[in-house]
């Protein structure tokens, strides 16, 4: 019972840090550039496919993950230069139309390049098997590695944003992007760098998640929507909000799926309980989002919209 | 005629009525476009069946149905400035209303049996039920989503529609992921709905009804206040009016109409599944509205026609049609500002003397 709880909490953390890596890029791009990018999930998918492809070719999963990051960053840069750069001044509807088109294109390209069947990515040798985190509680090492990677990324991103010149420009851009441009900063280059950084993080998330999930076409969209929930809860443009929101969503989703069906069986007639429990479990994070919004319409750490 | 009416002097002259002075004159132009669109959709199946191309009848029916769904979203996006990216969910709810009612009409069991009563399989019952179900589910979703605005609103409506998607997947009694089959079309007060042309005109009639209603709403006091809230929310508040209730009403009305479209689509394809609730349908609906031109309901129908025909044509040509459609949407977003109708009216303006815009 207790062991199961520990396991579920760790699973929730693992989902949480993964969501953070996706949501951080999404919220930075939105906060600084005001661009609603539906294609962000596609960068996550590109990262996962790149990792799976390189790992299959070279036999090294670690190499695959290392290659996935620049590949996804490059894809992000390409999308920014070719499409998004033309849409900064436009309203969200045009951005939705264009990035939806990119999603259709990216999904179909992956299907053409790698076929309709899911690819599989193995766990690297050093992280195979399980580790006894408490006496009698084994836990897959790879999931611990994901948690570690996510925490390192979060720390690095916090340092970057709080301590570096780039971070200063990002923070300033999120506050008032016209002013930053007026002060003589090459705002076009800042945007390109941000997009590449967002792509890199999303690609990393896709690559490390590859061994846990199946690498398949369309894997980016459910994650994109979860990332939306994360930044809506955390507040758009706030990396701290994205981190808090991601952990809360990761934990709530995992624990909801683990315990709500049981709870439903305890209070409802058995015939209906399974379905209503399953439905409730998949609703958990959205109910959470509704609750947060009812209290703070701009998210926990949110300011502008 | 006005002179005969003794009260007419107390009313504003027709020229000052809201419809005639509607902002930018879009409403009037859109009205003509709506009539043309409906006439084309009315003639197309006759021509098609005369030419022996029966599959075109189903295609125009699909255009009418998705045009109805897109036009309902246009009221939110274009008229009220509420960019909902979760509208597909209400199309899906409408479809499930038909599916669940049919399921129980066949004497089968299910978790919602207490709601469905004995079940039903006549459009006169299932369409209002679909509209009501969609509107009722839209109530809490709208009540929460409308506390936010702009991009938050886009993301939240998307998130809630995804939630409904997972809920429908979870209900195993109604097929879960696999959905339900409708063995026969809903009847409609004795009409032969199995006949493709009869069914087409039922769908088209409902589309025409909504287009007429949408133009009436846009020109009414309610529509003008909604548009005022779209253009300048703060000024409206300063005048002492909060747009929240008006927007919620629009959100529920649009959901109800989308529910009707979903019910019709379920009948057309004979199948109900979670697919329309998936986020791609919501994306496509938004694409239809923006592609055709969000300013008028007719634009949304034109957008629906373009997307339905494109998917059909590209789909016949290659299985990888999405790889072609995607870049086309990107180009449309970059170059086709204001949608097809917007571009047309720009070209028209230039031809008429160039001075405008």
Domain-located, residue B10: no
C-alpha A138/C-alpha A124 separation (Å) is 18
B227 Cα to chain A: minimum distance (Å): 17
Alpha helices by DSSP H, listed for chain B, are 18-21, 26-50, 55-74, 88-105, 113-116, 123-145, 150-170, 196-219, 221-231, 233-238, 244-269, 279-292, 297-317, 322-335, 339-351
Residue B24 reports pLDDT greater than 50: no
Domain-located, residue B287: yes
Tell me the backbone φ, ψ of residue A53, rounded to 5 degrees.
-65, -50
Mean pLDDT of the B11-36 span: 51
Residue B77 reports pLDDT greater than 90: yes
Mean pLDDT of the A144-164 span: 92
Domain-located, residue B13: no
Mean pLDDT of the B142-165 span: 91
Written as one string, the DSSP assignment of B71-120 is: HHHHIIIIIT----S-THHHHHHHHHHHHHHHHHHTT---TTHHHHTT--
Tell me the backbone φ, ψ of residue B13, rounded to 5 degrees.
-60, 155
What is the crossing angle of helices A187-209 and A2-33, to 10°? 160
Which range, of A245-259, B1-15, B88-102, B210-224, averages the lowest pLDDT?
B1-15
Q: pLDDT for B301-351, tens place per residue?
A: 999 999 999 999 999 999 999 999 999 999 999 988 878 888 887 887 777
Q: Which of B296, B291, B285 is nearest to B65 (CA)?
A: B285
Pairs of CB atoms within 8 A across A/B:
150
Domain-located, residue B321: yes
- If one counts every other C-beta atom within 10 angstroms of the C-beta of residue A230, the result is 30
CATH number for B284: 1.10.3470
Which range, of A86-90, B51-55, B66-70, B171-175, averages the lowest pLDDT?
B51-55
Q: Which domain holds residue B241?
A: 26-356
Question: Residue B338: which H helix or E strand, with range?
Answer: none
Domain-located, residue B202: yes
How far is residue B319 CA from its own chain's centroid? 27
**Predicted pLDDT of residue A107:** 95
Confidence label for A303 from pLDDT (cuts 50, 70 and 90): low
Are residues B287 and A97, on separate chains, in Cβ contact within 8 Å?
yes
Instruction: Give the residue, B355 or A260, on which the prediction is more confident.
Output: A260
C-alpha B137/C-alpha A280 separation (Å) is 16
Tell me the backbone φ, ψ of residue B50, rounded to 5 degrees.
-65, -35
Residue B212 reports pLDDT greater than 90: yes
β-pair type (A137-140, A130-134): antiparallel
Q: Which of B155, B275, B281, B311 is the best residue to mutate to test the A interface, defined by the most A CB atoms within 10 Å of its own CB?
A: B155
Q: Which of A217, A207, A194, A213 is nearest to A67 (CA)?
A: A207
Tell me the backbone φ, ψ of residue B122, rounded to 5 degrees.
-120, 135
Q: pLDDT for A175-202, tens place per residue?
A: 777 788 788 888 888 889 999 999 999 9
Q: pLDDT for A97-122, tens place per residue?
A: 999 999 999 999 999 999 989 998 88
* Count of structural domains, chain B: 1
Mean pLDDT estimate for chain A: 89
Task: Write out chain B residues lying below 8 Å of A276, CB-based.
Answer: 111
Task: Report the residue of chain A nearest B292, measured CA to CA.
Answer: A97
Q: Which of A38, A11, A34, A40 is nearest to A205 (CA)?
A: A40
A59 Cα to chain B: minimum distance (Å): 30
Domain-located, residue B61: yes
Domain-located, residue B1: no
pTM: 0.89
Domain-located, residue B249: yes
Q: pLDDT for A59-81, tens place per residue?
A: 899 999 999 999 999 999 999 99
Confidence label for A46 from pLDDT (cuts 50, 70 and 90): very high
Residue B15 reports pLDDT greater than 50: no
Q: Which of A196, A250, A215 is nearest to A45 (CA)?
A: A215
DSSP A124: P
Q: Residue A87: CB partners within 8 Å, gap ≥ 6?
A: A35, A94, A95, A98, B333, B334
Instruction: Give the residue, B194 or A36, on which the prediction is more confident.
Output: A36
């Amino acid at each position: 019972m207790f062991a199961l709880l520990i396991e579920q909490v760790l699973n929730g953390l693992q989902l949480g840090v993964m969501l953070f890596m996706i949501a951080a890029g999404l919220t930075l791009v939105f906060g600084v550039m005001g661009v609603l990018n539906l294609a962000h999930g596609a960068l996550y998918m590109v990262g996962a496919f790149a990792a799976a492809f390189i790992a299959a070719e070279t036999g090294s999963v670690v190499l695959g993950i290392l290659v996935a990051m620049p590949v996804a960053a490059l894809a992000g840069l390409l999308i920014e230069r070719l499409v998004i750069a033309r849409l900064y001044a436009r309203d969200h509807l045009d951005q939705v139309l264009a990035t939806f088109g990119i999603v259709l294109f990216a999904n179909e390209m992956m299907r053409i390049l790698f076929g309709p069947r899911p690819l599989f990515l193995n766990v690297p040798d050093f992280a195979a098997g399980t580790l006894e985190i408490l006496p009698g509680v084994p836990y897959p090492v790879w999931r611990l590695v994901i948690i570690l990677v996510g925490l390192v990324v979060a720390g690095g991103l916090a340092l970057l944003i709080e301590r570096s010149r780039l971070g200063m420009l990002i923070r300033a851009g999120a506050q008032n992007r016209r002013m930053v441009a007026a002060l003589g900063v090459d705002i076009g280059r800042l945007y390109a760098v941000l997009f590449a950084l967002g792509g890199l993080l999303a690609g990393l998330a896709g690559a490390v998640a590859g061994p846990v999930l199946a690498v398949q076409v369309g894997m980016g969209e459910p994650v994109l929507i979860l990332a939306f929930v994360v930044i809506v809860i955390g507040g758009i443009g706030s990396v701290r909000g994205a981190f808090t929101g991601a952990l809360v969503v990761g934990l709530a989703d995992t624990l909801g799926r683990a315990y709500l069906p049981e709870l439903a069986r305890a209070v409802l007639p058995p015939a209906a309980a399974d379905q209503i429990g399953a439905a409730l479990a998949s609703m958990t994070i959205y109910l959470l989002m509704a609750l947060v919004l009812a209290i703070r319409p701009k998210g926990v750490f949110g300011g502008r919209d | 005629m006005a002179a005969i009416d003794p009260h007419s002097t107390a009313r504003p002259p027709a020229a000052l009525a809201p419809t005639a002075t509607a902002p930018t004159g879009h409403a009037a132009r859109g009205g003509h476009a709506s009539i043309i669109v409906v006439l084309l959709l009315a003639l197309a199946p006759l021509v098609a069946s005369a030419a022996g191309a029966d599959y075109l009848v189903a295609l125009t029916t699909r255009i009418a149905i998705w045009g109805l769904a897109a036009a309902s979203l246009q009221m939110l996006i274009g008229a009220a400035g509420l960019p909902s990216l979760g509208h597909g969910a209400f199309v899906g709810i409408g479809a499930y209303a038909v599916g669940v009612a049919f399921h129980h009409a066949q004497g089968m069991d299910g978790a919602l049996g207490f709601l469905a009563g004995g079940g039903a399989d006549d459009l006169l019952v299932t369409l209002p039920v679909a509209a009501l179900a969609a509107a009722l589910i839209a109530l809490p979703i709208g009540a929460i989503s409308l506390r936010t605005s702009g991009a938050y609103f886009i993301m939240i409506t998307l998130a809630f529609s995804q939630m409904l998607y997972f809920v429908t997947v979870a209900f195993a009694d109604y097929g879960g992921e696999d959905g339900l089959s409708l063995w026969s079309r809903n009847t409609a007060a004795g009409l032969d709905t199995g006949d493709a042309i009869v069914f087409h005109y039922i769908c088209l009639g409902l589309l025409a009804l909504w287009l007429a209603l949408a133009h009436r709403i846009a020109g009414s006091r309610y529509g003008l206040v909604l548009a005022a809230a779209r253009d300048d929310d703060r000024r409206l508040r300063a005048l002492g009016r909060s747009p929240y209730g008006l927007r919620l009403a629009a959100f529920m009305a649009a959901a109800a109409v989308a529910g009707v479209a979903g019910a019709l689509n379920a009948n057309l394809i004979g199948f109900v599944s979670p697919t329309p609730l998936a986020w791609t349908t919501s994306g496509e609906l938004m694409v239809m509205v923006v592609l055709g031109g969000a300013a008028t309901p007719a634009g949304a129908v034109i957008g629906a026609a373009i997307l339905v025909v494109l998917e059909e044509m590209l789909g016949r040509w290659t299985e990888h049609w999405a790889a072609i459609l995607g870049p086309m949407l990107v180009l449309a977003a970059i170059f086709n500002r204001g949608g097809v109708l917007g571009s047309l009216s720009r070209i028209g303006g230039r031809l008429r003397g160039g001075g405008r815009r």
